[in-house]
């Protein structure tokens, strides 16, 4: 594990498509929070969900970040190079009995689940908690949760509490397709890279108690969290590849950067709208106000961005 530093943050895109305005907001927010506190800022490519990776997207994301003037510390960490580390952590949790094999199909879960989970799926009803049914094999591997509330103080969203047993159930760390789950990879890498601060979109707020629980199971420290408002299109949907958010046009970088700063509540002077990129960054670094960031989890844009 890395030496602790005063501040180390990161931007962790998934290469499922090009960067869009929503990703720019997360990159800008995490970057300025780090740099204005003299902190380090790293880029990690979250490319473990291979069926969702889009060819060329990772390189495109890195080129776009560069064109927007982001400078990161150290080499990019590619999660696809970290599979052995995730496997070791999973084995440790299996040995201690915290992770168990689950044979359930989606249908079996749907048939016996009693309510929806916080993120729209179904709260796992615990069918394989006491062992696999006779003659069945483990498809996925789940982490046991306990019957207590997990709470944390988000720097923007305030106190967030979740009762994992009710709101999520034992959750998957290794999926039926053999891939490591985001929750496992993100927790292992945030700790391994010594992250002190996670600044990211509020779409991940509901995942955070799961990540904190996993940190506790592994004896990792819990970083500080700040969940930025997420940009939504006029239909109220979060900008994402699924909602066909437009790819960032690097030719418009200075103006888009100004828009991202305004979205984050910064009082950008009108004259900056036509300024070159370096000037926009200089202004942002000199005037960044965390206190000015809107506290709501979702903000509607006038256009699809």
The residues annotated with a catalytic role in the active site are 241
DSSP, residue by residue, 170-225: SEEEE-TTSPBPHHHHHHHHHHHTT--EEEEEGGGGGGHHHHHHHHHHHTPPPPEE
**Which residues 128-187 are close enough to bind ligand GLU by CB under 6 A?**
186
200 binds ligand GLU (CB under 6 A): yes
Question: Which of 17, 169 has the CB closer to ligand GLU?
Answer: 17
Question: Which of 13, 297 has the CB closer to ligand GLU?
Answer: 13
**Which residues 237-296 are close enough to bind ligand GLU by CB under 6 A?**
none
27 binds ligand GLU (CB under 6 A): no
The least distance separating ligand GLU from the CB of residue 78, rounded to whole angstroms, comes to: 12
Write the DSSP symbol of residue 68: T
**Which residues 41-60 are close enough to bind ligand GLU by CB under 6 A?**
46
Q: In this chain, which of 8, 9, 13, 196 binds ligand GLU, going by CB under 6 A?
A: 13
DSSP, residue by residue, 93-148: HHHTTSEEEE---HHHHHHH--SB-TTSSB----TTTT-PPTT----EEEE---SS
Q: How many chain residues bind ligand GLU (CB under 6 A)?
A: 7
204 binds ligand GLU (CB under 6 A): yes
22 binds ligand GLU (CB under 6 A): no
What distance in Å separates the CA atoms of residue 203 and residue 174, rounded to the nearest whole number? 22
The β-bridge relationship of strands 149-154 and 40-45 is unpaired
The dihedral formed by the CA atoms of 302, 15, 50 and 103, expressed in degrees to the nearest 10? -50
Question: Which of 13, 254 has the CB closer to ligand GLU?
Answer: 13
Count Cβ atoms below 10 Å from residue 7 Cβ, excluding itself: 17
From 10-18, 67-75, 215-223, 276-284, span contacting ligand GLU (CB under 6 A): 10-18
- Give the residues lining the site for ligand GLU (CB under 6 A): 12-14, 46, 186, 200, 204
């Amino acid at each position: 594990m890395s030496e602790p530093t005063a501040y180390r943050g990161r931007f962790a895109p998934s290469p499922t498509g090009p960067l869009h305005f929503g990703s720019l907001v997360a990159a800008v927010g995490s970057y300025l929070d780090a740099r204005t506190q003299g902190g380090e800022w790293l880029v990690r490519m979250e490319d473990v969900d291979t069926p969702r990776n889009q060819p060329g997207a990772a390189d495109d994301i890195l080129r776009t970040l560069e064109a927007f003037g982001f400078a990161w510390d150290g080499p990019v960490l590619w999660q696809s190079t970290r599979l052995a580390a995730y496997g070791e952590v999973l084995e440790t949790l299996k040995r201690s009995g915290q992770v168990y094999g689950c044979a359930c199909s989606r249908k079996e879960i749907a048939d016996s689940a009693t309510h929806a989970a916080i993120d729209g799926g179904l709260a796992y009803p615990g069918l394989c908690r006491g062992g696999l049914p006779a003659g069945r094999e483990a498809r996925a591997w789940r982490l046991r949760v306990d019957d207590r509330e997990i709470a944390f103080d988000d720097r923007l969203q305030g106190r967030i509490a979740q009762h994992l047993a009710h709101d999520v159930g034992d959750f998957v760390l290794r999926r039926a397709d053999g891939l490591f789950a985001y929750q496992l990879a993100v927790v292992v890498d945030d700790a391994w890279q010594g992250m002190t601060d996670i600044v990211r979109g509020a779409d991940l707020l509901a995942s955070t108690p799961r990540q904190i629980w996993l940190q506790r199971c592994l004896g990792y420290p819990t970083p500080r969290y700040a969940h930025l408002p997420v940009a939504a299109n006029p239909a109220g949907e979060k900008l994402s590849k699924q909602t066909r958010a437009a790819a960032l046009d690097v030719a418009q970088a200075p103006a888009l950067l100004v828009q991202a700063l305004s979205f984050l509540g910064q009082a950008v002077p009108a004259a900056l709208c036509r300024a070159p990129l370096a000037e926009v960054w200089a202004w942002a670094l000199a005037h960044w106000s965390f206190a000015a960031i809107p506290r709501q989890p979702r903000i509607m844009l006038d256009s699809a961005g």
